[in-house]
Amino acid sequence: MEPIFDVAVIGGGSAGFAAARTAAALGARTALVEGAERLGGLCILAGCMPTKALLEASRRWHAIREVDQFGLQAQPIRPDFPAIMARMHRLVSEFAADRQKELTQGDFQLIRAHASFLDPNQVALADPDGRKSFLRARAFVIAAGSRVSHPPLPELSEIGFWDSNTVLHQTQLPKSLIVLGGGPVAVEYAQFFARLGVDVRLVQRGPRLLKRFDSDLTGVLEEALRDEGIGLLTSASLVSASRSGEEKRLRLVQHGAVHELVAEEIFLAAGRTPALEGLHLPAAGIEIDGRAPLVDCHMRTSVPNLFAAGDFVGIEEIVHIAVLQGEVAGENAARLALGRGAPSRQMDYRLTMEVVFTEPELARLGLTEERAHQSSQPLLVARYRFADHGKALLRGTTRGFVKLLAEPERGELLGAGIVGPEASELIHELVALFSFHATAEDLAQLPHYHPTLSEILTYPAEEIARNVAVSQHQRTLPPSPHHRPSIP
């Protein structure tokens, strides 16, 4: 007789762990099914943590090379790529060990197996030794994650390429590298390798990098990457790929002109796709929209007792969003399975934020200026440059700016963008304010220590607050006598 659980979670990454932990805390008998060889999930094993470890190494190397502007002299040094990779692997192993402990000692049952649906309440399990079994549950949360997208050219598979998994197992720096893609993974790795002396060219199909950010922010990053010697080719379509000896060749078309790029290695960083394979979702009756399952605000799929979360649903492929989605899905699945009423907890994407850890860093929160213009939403927008800010000048990090978006009536903060030093940290002050529907005046009146980077946020807030005050004053003024209607 197969075991019957209240909630079964498929996938042990950030979303799956959050879902299982949440469901178990509500008293649901919970199972977490994970078939991957290593426990930990994408963020720990091949995403957030290893990339940030590598970026920190290249950031420090770059800083050492610029110490002369602070009146310092450094002894000749060189980057040690194997040592950089060894440090990254050690840190990843430590993070993974902590997560493995949480998964194996949690208040839920961990089952090491691949799952495939037989119907909405039952999955077939295949463990690493090939043994077959079955599992039934009143509700499921699918958090199976994502996989590297297929290459845009079949020839790439023939000549070989790196992806975000295989790049972590390299032991030698290539002399030259072509990066395909324009998202966070592409730009972060492009800068990492370029700073270690690799000749890097980045090829992007779209007209600019980081399409989820406003173009004024990404323009600053593009300028910085070019200044560091990275070749950027945007609006470029791949035509063919081939190999000649140790060299790999790409032919592409850009603005009607044909180009040929030659490099020692090619890094495919063109994104990820929800991992639907092997789950047999049609047997469960789940409706798929293109490449991902449809979910509502409760993270519920088209089948009432099946929920989904994380990269698997492809809404916002960001770890903290995956955790929130997992918690929402886990709570709602537990409520349903335990007979405590219909799903009630909802996702709120108003506070969606994203960070890119290049130098300069980029961060966005809430509404973007371009999205507001597309919907003709009225806005007040104010910017302030790091080049005009005292602490940034002291640090020698003056590239970029901060900007705030607010609605015109009260000045409530609706969106923010930062490109510049410590953007990943500065954005969190704004998250706290946005969560309480704060206005620009609220931010402007908060005391900030001087000199700090964070006080730069008050300057665009002051400008918006002044504009709101002027507008409110004008609305309260009596009509001008020159515009009073005449009396017949």
Residues classed as catalytic: 450
Q: Which residues pair with 117 in a beta bridge?
A: 123
**3-class SS letters over the chain:** CCCEEEEEEECCCHHHHHHHHHHHHCCCCEEEEECCCCCCCHHHHCCHHHHHHHHHHHHHHHHHHCHHHHCCCCCCCCCCHHHHHHHHHHHHHHHHHHHHHHHHCCCCEEEECEEEEEECCEEEEECCCCCEEEEEEEEEEECCCEEECCCCCHHHHHHCCECCCHHHHCCCCCCEEEEECCCHHHHHHHHHHHHCCCEEEEECCCCCCCCCCCHHHHHHHHHHHHHCCCEEECCEEEEEEEEECCEEEEEEEECCEEEEEEECEEEECCCEEECCCCCCHHHHCCCEECCEECCCCCCECCCCCEEECHHHHCCCCCHHHHHHHHHHHHHHHHHHHCCCCCCCCCCCHHHCEEEECCCCEEEEEECCHHHHHHCCCCCEEEEEEHHHCHHHHHHCCCCCEEEEEECCCCCEEEEEEEEECCHHHHHHHHHHHHHCCCEHHHHHHCCCCCCCCHHHHHHHHHHHHHHHHHHHHHHHCCCCHHHCCCCC
Q: Among 137, 149, 110, 139, which Cα is nearest to 276's?
A: 149
Q: Work out the angle at residue 461's Cα, subtended by the Cα atoms of residues 457 and 464, and round it to the nearest 5 degrees.
A: 150
φ/ψ region of 309 (left if φ > 0, alpha if ψ in -120 to 50, else beta) reads beta
